[in-house]
Amino acid sequence: MTDRLPPGSTIGILGGGQLGRMLSMAAARLGYRCHVYEPGPAPAADVAAERTRAPYEDADALAAFAEACDLVTFEFENVPAAALDDLAARVPLYPCRSALETSQDRLVEKSFLRDLGLATARFAPVTEAADLGAALAETGTPAILKTRRFGYDGKGQARVADIAEARAALPAFGGAPLIAEETVAFSSEISVIAARGRTGEVAAYDPGENVHEDGILATTTIPANIPNRLRMDAVLIASRILTALDYVGVMGVELFVTADGLLVNEIAPRVHNSGHWTQAGCAVDQFEQHIRAIAGWPLGDGTRHADVTMENLVGDAVHRAPDLAAEPGVQIHLYGKSEARPGRKMGHVNRVKPLSTA
Amino acid sequence: MTDRLPPGSTIGILGGGQLGRMLSMAAARLGYRCHVYEPGPAPAADVAAERTRAPYEDADALAAFAEACDLVTFEFENVPAAALDDLAARVPLYPCRSALETSQDRLVEKSFLRDLGLATARFAPVTEAADLGAALAETGTPAILKTRRFGYDGKGQARVADIAEARAALPAFGGAPLIAEETVAFSSEISVIAARGRTGEVAAYDPGENVHEDGILATTTIPANIPNRLRMDAVLIASRILTALDYVGVMGVELFVTADGLLVNEIAPRVHNSGHWTQAGCAVDQFEQHIRAIAGWPLGDGTRHADVTMENLVGDAVHRAPDLAAEPGVQIHLYGKSEARPGRKMGHVNRVKPLSTA
Cβ atoms of A135 and A126 within 8 Å: the answer is yes
Residues A202 and A333 in one domain: yes
The reply to whether B239 falls in a domain is: yes
Report how far Cα B311 is from the mean position of its chain's Cα atoms. Answer: 16
* Secondary structure class of B110 (helix, strand, coil): helix
Q: What are phi and psi of B173, to 5 degrees?
A: -85, -5
- Is B287's pLDDT higher than 80? yes
Facing residue for A25 by CB, picked from B31, B47, B284: B47
* Strand ranges across the sheet with A157-160: A123-126, A178-182, A143-147, A157-160
Judge if the upstream peptide bond of residue B95 is cis by omega within 30 degrees of 0. Answer: yes
Facing residue for A292 by CB, picked from B284, B288, B325: B325
Residues paired with residue A264 on neighbouring β-strands, in sequence order: A120, A255
Which residues does chain A have within 8 Å of residue B298's beta carbon, measured at their own beta carbons? 322, 325-326
* Secondary structure class of B218 (helix, strand, coil): strand
Residue type, A95: P
At B205, which CATH number?
3.30.470.20
For residues A125-144, average pLDDT: 95
H, E, C per residue of B152-196: CCCCCEEEECCHHHHHHHHHHHCCCCEEEEECCCCCEEEEEEEEE
The reply to whether B108 falls in a domain is: no
- Is B2's pLDDT higher than 70? no
Query: Residue B113 has what DSSP assignment?
Result: H
Cβ atoms of B199 and B1 within 8 Å: the answer is yes
Could you read off the pLDDT of A200-211 as tens digits, one per residue? 999 999 999 999
Residues A212 and A328 in one domain: yes
Could you read off the pLDDT of A221-239 as tens digits, one per residue? 999 999 999 999 999 999 9
Residues A249 and A217 in one domain: yes
Q: Which of A30, A32, A287, A288 to mutate to test the interface with B (most CBs of B within 10 A)?
A: A30
Domain-ending residue, one of A150, A165, A182: A182
Residues A82 and A142 in one domain: no
Report residue B150's pLDDT band, with 50, 70 and 90 as the boundaries.
confident
Which residues does chain B have within 8 Å of residue A292's beta carbon, measured at their own beta carbons? 325
User: What is the bridge-based pairing of β-strands A216-222 and A123-126?
Assistant: unpaired
Which residues does chain A have within 8 Å of residue B48's beta carbon, measured at their own beta carbons? 46-47
The reply to whether B5 falls in a domain is: no
- Is A299's pLDDT higher than 50? yes
Could you read off the pLDDT of B64-123 as tens digits, one per residue? 999 999 999 999 988 888 999 999 999 999 998 888 889 889 999 999 999 999 999 999
pLDDT of residue A1: 44
CA angle B149, B154, B159 (to 5 degrees): 95
For residues A254-258, average pLDDT: 97
For residues A22-40, average pLDDT: 98
Facing residue for A298 by CB, picked from B300, B326, B338: B326
Could you read off the pLDDT of B123-149 as tens digits, one per residue? 999 999 999 999 999 999 999 999 998
At B73, which CATH number?
3.40.50.20
Could you read off the pLDDT of B152-204 as tens digits, one per residue? 666 789 999 999 999 999 999 988 999 999 999 999 999 999 999 999 999 99
The reply to whether A105 falls in a domain is: no
Per the structure, how many domains does chain B have? Answer: 3
Facing residue for B333 by CB, picked from A29, A297, A326: A29
Residues A87 and A129 in one domain: no
The reply to whether B4 falls in a domain is: no
Q: How many angstroms away from the CA of A58 is the closest CA of chain B? A: 25
A105: exposed, middle or buried (C-beta count within 10 Å: 0-12, 13-18, 19+)?
Answer: middle
- B49/A49 CB distance under 8 A: no
Which residues does chain A have within 8 Å of residue B297's beta carbon, measured at their own beta carbons? 322, 325
Query: Residue A355 has what DSSP assignment?
Result: -
- A28/B21 CB distance under 8 A: yes
User: Does residue A154 or residue A63 have the better pLDDT?
Assistant: A63
d(CA B125, CA B147): 10
Residues A85 and A234 in one domain: no
Which residues does chain A have within 8 Å of residue B333's beta carbon, measured at their own beta carbons? 29
d(CA A231, CA A38): 37
Could you read off the pLDDT of B6-54 as tens digits, one per residue? 999 999 999 999 999 999 999 999 999 999 999 999 999 999 999 999 9
At B147, which CATH number?
3.30.1490.20
The reply to whether A116 falls in a domain is: no
For B278, which residue in chain A has the nearest alpha carbon? A280
Residue B62 makes CB contacts below 8 A (sequence gap 6+) with B37, B54, B56, B83, B86, B87
Cβ atoms of B176 and B145 within 8 Å: the answer is no
d(CA B268, CA B77): 7
- A29/B352 CB distance under 8 A: no
Q: Which domain holds residue B134?
A: 122-182
Q: Compute chain A's Rg from CA coordinates.
A: 20
Residues paired with residue B51 on neighbouring β-strands, in sequence order: B36
- A46/B28 CB distance under 8 A: yes
Report residue A298's pLDDT band, with 50, 70 and 90 as the boundaries.
very high
Residues B210 and B152 in one domain: no
A6: exposed, middle or buried (C-beta count within 10 Å: 0-12, 13-18, 19+)?
Answer: exposed
Residue type, B22: M
Domain-ending residue, one of B182, B211, B232: B182
Query: Residue B8 has what DSSP assignment?
Result: T
pLDDT of residue B1: 44
Neighbours of B330 (CB within 10 A): 22
Facing residue for B350 by CB, picked from A7, A283, A328: A283
Residue type, B19: L
d(CA A256, CA B49): 41
Residues A267 and A299 in one domain: yes
Neighbours of A1 (CB within 10 A): 6
For A325, which residue in chain B has the nearest alpha carbon? B298
Could you read off the pLDDT of A97-113 as tens digits, one per residue? 888 889 889 999 999 99
d(CA B97, CA B292): 19
- Is A264's pLDDT higher than 70? yes
* Secondary structure class of B349 (helix, strand, coil): strand
Cβ atoms of A333 and A350 within 8 Å: the answer is yes
- A355/B354 CB distance under 8 A: yes
d(CA A9, CA B297): 36
d(CA B243, CA B235): 12
For residues B277-293, average pLDDT: 97
- A354/B305 CB distance under 8 A: yes
Residues A171 and A86 in one domain: no
How many residues would you count in chain A?
358
Average pLDDT taken over every residue of chain B: 95
d(CA B300, CA A329): 7
Cβ atoms of B297 and B326 within 8 Å: the answer is no
Query: Residue B319 has what DSSP assignment?
Result: G
**For residue B251, how many C-alpha atoms fall within 13 Å in the half-sphere facing its CB?**
32
d(CA A263, CA B111): 69
- A305/B31 CB distance under 8 A: no
Which residues does chain A have within 8 Å of residue B47's beta carbon, measured at their own beta carbons? 24-25, 28, 47-49
Nearest to A241 by CA among A148, A114, A125: A114
The reply to whether A109 falls in a domain is: no
User: What is the bridge-based pairing of β-strands A50-52 and B261-268?
Assistant: unpaired
Q: How many angstroms away from the CA of A260 is the closest CA of chain B? A: 34
The reply to whether A107 falls in a domain is: no
- B284/A333 CB distance under 8 A: no
Could you read off the pLDDT of A16-30 as tens digits, one per residue? 999 999 999 999 999
* Secondary structure class of A61 (helix, strand, coil): helix
B239: exposed, middle or buried (C-beta count within 10 Å: 0-12, 13-18, 19+)?
Answer: middle
Neighbours of B118 (CB within 10 A): 18
Could you read off the pLDDT of B297-356 as tens digits, one per residue? 999 999 999 999 999 999 999 999 999 999 999 999 999 998 999 999 999 999 999 998
CA angle A131, A134, A139 (to 5 degrees): 115
Q: Which of A10, A47, A351, A352 to mutate to test the interface with B (most CBs of B within 10 A)?
A: A47
Residues B165 and B204 in one domain: no
Nearest to B86 by CA among B63, B114, B55: B63
Nearest to A7 by CA among B341, B122, B355, B337: B337
Which residues does chain A have within 8 Å of residue B325's beta carbon, measured at their own beta carbons? 292, 297-298, 300
For A286, which residue in chain B has the nearest alpha carbon? B331
Nearest to A299 by CA among A208, A196, A193: A196
Cβ atoms of B53 and B114 within 8 Å: the answer is no
- Is A215's pLDDT higher than 90? no
Facing residue for A350 by CB, picked from B283, B326, B355: B283
Residues B266 and B319 in one domain: yes
- B305/A350 CB distance under 8 A: no
Supply the pTM of this predicted model: 0.95
Domain-ending residue, one of A164, A182, A200: A182
Which residues does chain B have within 8 Å of residue A46's beta carbon, measured at their own beta carbons? 28, 33-34, 48-49
Report residue A77's pLDDT band, with 50, 70 and 90 as the boundaries.
confident
Cβ atoms of A47 and A21 within 8 Å: the answer is yes
For A292, which residue in chain B has the nearest alpha carbon? B325
Residues A344 and A277 in one domain: yes
Query: Residue A273 has what DSSP assignment?
Result: G
Q: What percent of chain A has pLDDT over 70?
A: 97
Cβ atoms of B313 and B332 within 8 Å: the answer is no
Report residue A152's pLDDT band, with 50, 70 and 90 as the boundaries.
low
- B330/A284 CB distance under 8 A: yes
Which residues does chain B have within 8 Å of residue A25's beta carbon, measured at their own beta carbons? 25, 28, 47
